[in-house]
Every structure is written in structure tokens, then in C-alpha cells.
Amino acid sequence: MNSESNVKLTIALDNPDLDAEEQEEETRNLLREIRNLDVESAELVAVTETPKGSKALGGFLLGVLQAEVSLANFKKVLGFVGDRLGNKTIELEIEANGKKLKVKASSREELTAAIQQAQNFVAAS
């Protein structure tokens, strides 16, 4: 499959109530679930790609994962993210056709709006 037709998602979880180990476990569980969806790839983000202000644990950014999905499965993956993370504070970065969109959400309503914004962004890319 042509990677130009894929969408790259970066999902950053932010749960101040969890310690580093709990945050890592939650991220790894989410990663496992995303891999069960029809995605091209899904991985934890290595420390070499550290965004400013991020925390790292065991060579990976704490609470951050990336997935590459086809355009056909993009809505399915976003639907899963909405169902699974609706009441958590997250940051999504979507990259499609060389353009990037970054959105934050800390409630189900904000996440629903962010998902709609992401879908519109990808459709326009």
C-alpha cells in the first residue's frame, strides 16, 4: 500500500492520577488494542523523537504511541479512540499528505469535536 494514502496518528495520553508505571501499562494496553484493528503499523514512540516537555520511560515516551492507518480505516480507528478514551485527556496529532493537525481533548464532548475536526482535515487533505 502506498504510504501517501495512509494517515499517521500520534496519540498522547495525559493522566496525572497515574504514576509512570501505570501510565506505561495503560499505553501498552491501548497499543495492543489498536494493533488488533486493521492498522498498517502501531508502535510506542522512541525517545529519539522526544517532543518538548515529554517524559520518557524505558527508551519510549511515556503515554505516547503512533499508528499508521489506511484512509479506509481511519474513521474506524478514530471511533475506537473515541470509545476507549472519551473521558481521558489526550492529544492527537494527525498527519496526512504532508499536512499536520494537532488537537487536544479532555472530555467526551471535546474528543467528539476533535475527531470530527480530524475527519474533516483528512477529507480535505
pLDDT profile of the chain (125 residues), mean per 10: 74 87 91 93 79 59 91 88 86 91 91 89 86
**Which domain range does residue 85 map to?**
3-124
CATH of residue 60's domain is 3.30.70.120
For the full predicted model, state whether its pTM sits above 0.85: no
DSSP the chain: --GGGEEEEEEEEE-TTS-HHHHHHHHHHHHHHHHTSS-SEEEEEEGGG--TT--EETTEEEEEEEEEEEHHHHHHHHHHHHHHHTTSEEEEEEEETTEEEEEEESSHHHHHHHHHHHHHHHHH-
In the prediction, which pLDDT does 52 show?
57
C-alpha cell at 21: 508505571
In the prediction, which pLDDT does 51 show?
55
In the prediction, which pLDDT does 82 show?
86
Report how far Cα 74 is from the mean position of its chain's Cα atoms.
Answer: 11
The CA-CA-CA angle for residues 39, 51, 7, to 5°, reads 25
How many domains is the chain partitioned into structurally?
1
In the prediction, which pLDDT does 48 show?
65
In the prediction, which pLDDT does 2 show?
47
User: How far is the first Cα of the chain from the last one, in angstroms, to the nearest whole number?
Assistant: 18
